[in-house]
Structure 1
Amino acid sequence: AEPVEDRLGRALVTAFGPQRREPENPYNDHRPYASPRCLFPVHAFVDGGAGMPWRLLEPDRHALTGAPAAPARNVVLTGRYTTVPPAYQWFRGSLIAIELGFVLRALSLGLELFDVPARLRLPGRDAHGLLPALGLEDAWAWSLPFVVELDDGGGVQAREADSVPAPPAHLARTDPALAELIRVNREQTYDGAPAPLTTAVPAGLGPSATVPDWAELLWRRHSGRMPRALHGMSGRRRKVPAEALDSAARWLSVPPPGRELAIAFEALTVTAVVQGVAGQADGVHRLRDGAARLLRADTTAPERLEEQYGYGVSPVNGCGIRDAPLTVFLSVRTRELFERLGTAGWGAVQHAAGWAAHGLCLSAAASGLFARPVRAFKEIPTQRVLGLDPDEMIVLSVVVGVPQDTGGALLDLRL
């Protein structure tokens, strides 16, 4: 019964608002979605009405910058590349693209829970001109924006082409990787019409046996806790019910909105290394259309996967891959994808992978498990463990494990 602008505010806080602080965790604070190193480079901007400045969502304050204005009609999602340390070089582009997929599903869920109808407008050829309108001094350093239009809104008008923000001239010399990834991002434009945000949740999803409601589900999502400010993830070997794999497969079958993102999502191959799941053989499985199918029985696959992971067990790092009941890989045949989508395929498949992985994170939380998105597996040896062909690129992986009780405090930041 609340006005739509109040429901939009609640949806934004649901999607972005900090959930908790873990004093022992080197990465704080934790939101409802995963982010590399908890950097949260993707931000939401809300329009202030005709002729009024855009307002930045400040998740810590549960508020927007600036003075109250007319009811919002649009939300813009864009990522700041310079938030990610320069040592990541070209990988900064992929991290932003993947997180946009995470955030899109998180926001879609929030809008769905509070009954705020909306449409997604992917970046078109004129999207470059919208960045200066957001009031960003470094507009050149931000990704092309996703626009979420409320159903009573009229869309966003970009500025003229001559206002397109250009990187500073010295960037090609001082940070050539950043200059190049920005150039590539500006080519990631789409031709599709705005698409309705339908659902982020599998149809007919039953109640969780361990989580009573959505607020608790978002609170419980985590990526595997370590004690005493150590890095990595800790897990333990334990048999898990069949529901954990069934739920994961169903969450991974919900496509993102937008024609191009849906095409990229359909092109993804989902392969899971499974162990200790009731009713399922240990080995390599293919997840498709909401179900899992055994490709090859292999009890050694989890241990061999851990050998190919870039951050193994050490005095300062934990690694729970060999004990994980599910390790999921999202891969794509890039040549076939680019034949269908052209240059837009590069960004679209990473957005689609982020959308899929966030669904897997929520599925894991509902099953009492942790889910850790990673990009640290050695590509070619991992292809061999999974039985992938040499032309299949692994876009993103998610380790789903049984959490250990580290005994650390969890401080509630929701109120």
Structure 2
Amino acid sequence: MTDPLGRALVTAFGPQRREPENPYNDHRSYASPRCLFPVHAFVDGGGQDPWRLLEPDRHALTGAPGPGPGRRIALTGRYTAIPAAYKWFRGSLVAIELGIVLRALSIGLELFGQPARLRLPDTGAHALLDGIGLDRTWEWSLPFVLDVGEPPPAAAAGTAPDPVPPDVTRRDPALADLVRVNRSQTYAGDAVPLTTAVPAGLPASQRTPDWAELLWQRHSGRMPRALHGMTGRRRRVPAEALDTALRWLAVPPPGPELAAAFDAVRITVVTHGVDGHEDGVHRAQAATARLFRRDAEASARLEDHYGYGVSPVNGCGIRNAPMTVFLSVRPRELFARLGPAGWGAAQHACGWAVHGLCLSAAASGLFARPVRAFKEIPVQRVLGLEEDETIVLSAVVGVPQDTGGALLDLRL
């Protein structure tokens, strides 16, 4: 894939490295739970030819190329790529990763000069799933569609997607529930241009001089000897690390629907050892951190309320982390403002924001680990959130500790 669109796709989805000591591999430029990568990209075949699946490991599309270049990309998540034990949480993981992938792909398209327009799932998205050629459409989320360059001619409509089969509903009722909810989350707006995914005027990074190095350096924290979790060193970090992170977090996703959900998200940062900022709880406002409450023990208390604490098989570096970031919403207000699609839109927006945070951390020589394992009620009290406020996504930003393990470069 040597054309600009192909390079943009490889930049977003291509494997970066393998870590033999890590229980989960391979690693891309963006975070994914357990490296499962449930979100896939399909590219239209040009003309009336079939859609083609992007195979990131091969840097290629399936099937034979069509008569013209594919200019339409569909992003859709496969719920059954995530173990059934996750139950309803599979819906959130796919929705969050769609937001993460949207920003990763937006950056790739921007780097290679490929303007595009985003169409969120509308009433025709049900038929598009069938048009892509998937056998069991009920396993997949309604797709995001990106038109690259000039809008292509209207595609022939497919049939409505399959309902979840009765035997699957009996065996996995949570899957049937989350598919039903996903199918109700459609939007009425038109396609919108992709806006920039990168803050303007960022300072030069001394650790990642170019984009290739930045994407290579992004990681979620490591442990030695195939242990789980993350470890980090206690070290003060410069104010620029937080200031730059807040600028990445402040970039809104494209389009009025996602931007409205983004505006409903509150960002709270717990700091511990950041120059120029007191230890404690801060609210992010207009890309700046405003002290909400001084609390030198906030990070330690967060670790006490994390679902995967330190154990013989698991590391946890939260109490040493200079920053832990929380993105929260008030669901009742969200539904009142945005309707049934509000919850999905908020998760997309939070995924978009956290991917920016992960890249900012890499540029500062830090790791950022997106997590959904904090105990809701006690952490709500540490952060001073409202009683009806729900944490959508969090990220632990820490100072990496060298584990001595190999990092195998998978870039071609």
Q: What TM-score, normalized by structure 1, do the two folds share?
A: 0.97
Equivalent positions of 1:375-386 (< 5 A) are 375-386=372-383
2:46 to 28, 46, 49: 49
Tell me if 1:239 matches 2:259.
no
Alpha-carbon shift at residue 205 of structure 1 (Å): 1.3
Secondary structure at the aligned position of 1:107 is classed as helix
1:16 to 13, 28, 48: 13
CA RMSD of aligned residues (A): 1.1
Alpha-carbon shift at residue 117 of structure 1 (Å): 0.3
Equivalences, count: 411
Change in Cα spacing, 1:319 to 1:397, as seen in structure 2 (3 Å) is same
Code of the residue aligned with 1:104 in structure 2: it is L
1:119 to 117, 139, 142: 117
**Distance (whole Å) between structure 2 residues aligned to residue 306 and residue 141 of structure 1:** 35
Secondary structure at the aligned position of 1:305 is classed as helix
Which residue does 1:325 correspond to in 2? 322
Which residue does 2:84 correspond to in 1? 86
Secondary structure at the aligned position of 1:322 is classed as coil
Secondary structure at the aligned position of 1:256 is classed as coil
Change in Cα spacing, 1:33 to 1:7, as seen in structure 2 (3 Å) is same
Secondary structure at the aligned position of 1:132 is classed as helix
After the TM superposition, which parts of structure 1 deviate over 2 Å for at least 4 consecutive aligned residues? 153-160, 162-165
Which residue does 2:394 correspond to in 1? 397
- Conserved 8 A contact 1:34-1:373: yes
Which residue does 2:170 correspond to in 1? 173
2:357 to 360, 367, 378: 360
Alpha-carbon shift at residue 5 of structure 1 (Å): 7.9
1:255 to 239, 252, 257: 252
Tell me if 1:370 matches 2:373.
no
Which residue does 1:351 correspond to in 2? 348
- Conserved 8 A contact 1:282-1:299: yes
Alpha-carbon shift at residue 156 of structure 1 (Å): 5.1
Which residue does 1:109 correspond to in 2? 107
Code of the residue aligned with 1:396 in structure 2: it is L
**Distance (whole Å) between structure 2 residues aligned to residue 155 and residue 371 of structure 1:** 41
Which residue does 2:22 correspond to in 1? 25
Secondary structure at the aligned position of 1:321 is classed as coil
Which residue does 1:185 correspond to in 2? 182
Deviation string for 1:283-304 (max 9, x for gaps)?
A: 0011121111111110010000
1:276 to 269, 273, 276: 273
Secondary structure at the aligned position of 1:181 is classed as helix
**Distance (whole Å) between structure 2 residues aligned to residue 107 and residue 156 of structure 1:** 23
Secondary structure at the aligned position of 1:76 is classed as strand
Q: Taking every aligned residue pair, what percent have the same amino acid on both sides?
A: 73
Which residue does 2:146 correspond to in 1? 148
Secondary structure at the aligned position of 1:96 is classed as helix
**Distance (whole Å) between structure 1 residues aligned to residue 157 and residue 165 of structure 2:** 20
**Distance (whole Å) between structure 1 residues aligned to residue 8 and residue 410 of structure 2:** 17
Q: What TM-score, normalized by structure 2, do the two folds share?
A: 0.98
Alpha-carbon shift at residue 154 of structure 1 (Å): 2.2
Which residue does 1:7 correspond to in 2? 4
In the alignment, structure 2 segments of 5+ residues that lack a partner are none
Which residue does 2:313 correspond to in 1? 316
**Distance (whole Å) between structure 1 residues aligned to residue 2 and residue 362 of structure 2:** 29
- Conserved 8 A contact 1:5-1:71: no
**Distance (whole Å) between structure 1 residues aligned to residue 154 and residue 118 of structure 2:** 12
Secondary structure at the aligned position of 2:400 is classed as coil
Which residue does 2:71 correspond to in 1? 73
In the alignment, structure 1 segments of 5+ residues that lack a partner are none
Secondary structure at the aligned position of 1:329 is classed as strand
- Conserved 8 A contact 1:44-1:75: yes
Change in Cα spacing, 1:5 to 1:215, as seen in structure 2 (3 Å) is closer
Which residue does 2:227 correspond to in 1? 230
**Distance (whole Å) between structure 2 residues aligned to residue 155 and residue 196 of structure 1:** 17
Deviation string for 1:356-390 (max 9, x for gaps)?
A: 00000000000000000000000000000000011
- Conserved 8 A contact 1:74-1:150: yes
**Distance (whole Å) between structure 2 residues aligned to residue 94 and residue 156 of structure 1:** 31
Secondary structure at the aligned position of 2:275 is classed as coil
Code of the residue aligned with 1:11 in structure 2: it is A
**Distance (whole Å) between structure 2 residues aligned to residue 164 and residue 212 of structure 1:** 46
Alpha-carbon shift at residue 171 of structure 1 (Å): 2.1
Alpha-carbon shift at residue 153 of structure 1 (Å): 2.5
